């Protein structure tokens, strides 16, 4: 989990929200976020049951002044998932392969092709939307600004 930017007043609320999902106390090492002066960033590596990433993203989704990403790696029998959130764009959800690539289901690809053909929509723009390109572009300066930040591991109970 990467909280790319959070106002100081929200930092303890983020910890409480994540703790409420994972079932153990959470204390993040917050650092300044140079990409958005006056905000803070933190990282948390976690292990838990499949689907926990969605629950964490849902718990954080209510605060419109956060920028965050929650990623769940693929495991045998379960696809991975990534949730990205920015105040300007809202939430983006993607299925992630074992190698970390966004996977777009066939039905969504067919729909994008149909929209492009029927509504004079640019297919490349539709594919960018399906892969979350605009979220990546907005979050990239925040990711880069976090190089060298401390990381903490968390193991969920149960």
9 secondary structure, DSSP code: G
134 Cβ contact list (under 8 Å, min separation 6): 89, 128
Beta pairing class for 152-155 and 67-72: unpaired
Hey, which residues does 46 pair with through a beta bridge?
154
In the predicted model, what is the mean pLDDT of residues 65-84? 92
Confidence label for 16 from pLDDT (cuts 50, 70 and 90)? very high
Please state, in angstroms and rounded to a whole number, the distance separating the CA atoms of residues 129 and 158: 36
Coil/strand/helix, residue 130: helix
Q: What's the whole-model pTM score?
A: 0.85
**Do 47 and 156 form a contact (C-beta atoms < 8 A)?**
yes
Would you say how long the chain is, in residues?
Answer: 158
> In this predicted structure, what is the pLDDT of residue 15?
97
Q: Report the C-alpha dihedral over residues 36, 130, 149, 45, rounded to 10 degrees.
A: 130
- What confidence tier does 148 reach under pLDDT thresholds 50, 70, 90? low
Cβ contacts of 26 within 8 Å, gap of 6 or more: 15, 16, 18, 19, 44, 154
pLDDT digits (tens, 9 = 90+) for 85-131: 999 999 999 999 888 889 999 999 999 999 888 887 899 999 999 99
Q: What is the pLDDT of residues 32-71, one digit of tens each?
A: 999 999 999 999 998 888 899 999 999 999 888 999 999 9
pLDDT tops 60 at residue 156: no
């Amino acid at each position: 989990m990467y909280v790319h930017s959070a106002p100081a007043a929200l930092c303890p609320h983020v910890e409480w929200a994540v703790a409420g999902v994972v079932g153990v106390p959470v204390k993040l090492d917050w650092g300044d976020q140079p990409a958005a002066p006056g905000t803070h960033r933190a990282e948390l590596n976690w292990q838990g049951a499949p689907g926990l990433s969605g629950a964490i993203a849902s718990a954080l989704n209510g605060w419109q002044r956060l920028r965050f990403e929650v990623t769940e790696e693929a495991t045998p029998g379960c696809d991975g998932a990534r949730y990205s959130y920015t105040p300007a764009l809202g939430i983006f959800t993607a299925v992630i392969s074992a190698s970390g690539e966004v996977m777009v289901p066939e039905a969504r690809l067919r729909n994008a092709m149909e929209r492009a053909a029927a509504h004079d929509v640019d297919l490349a723009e539709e594919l960018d939307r399906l892969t979350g390109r605009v979220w990546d572009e907005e979050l990239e300066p925040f990711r880069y600004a976090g190089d060298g930040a401390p990381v903490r591991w968390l193991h969920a109970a149960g």
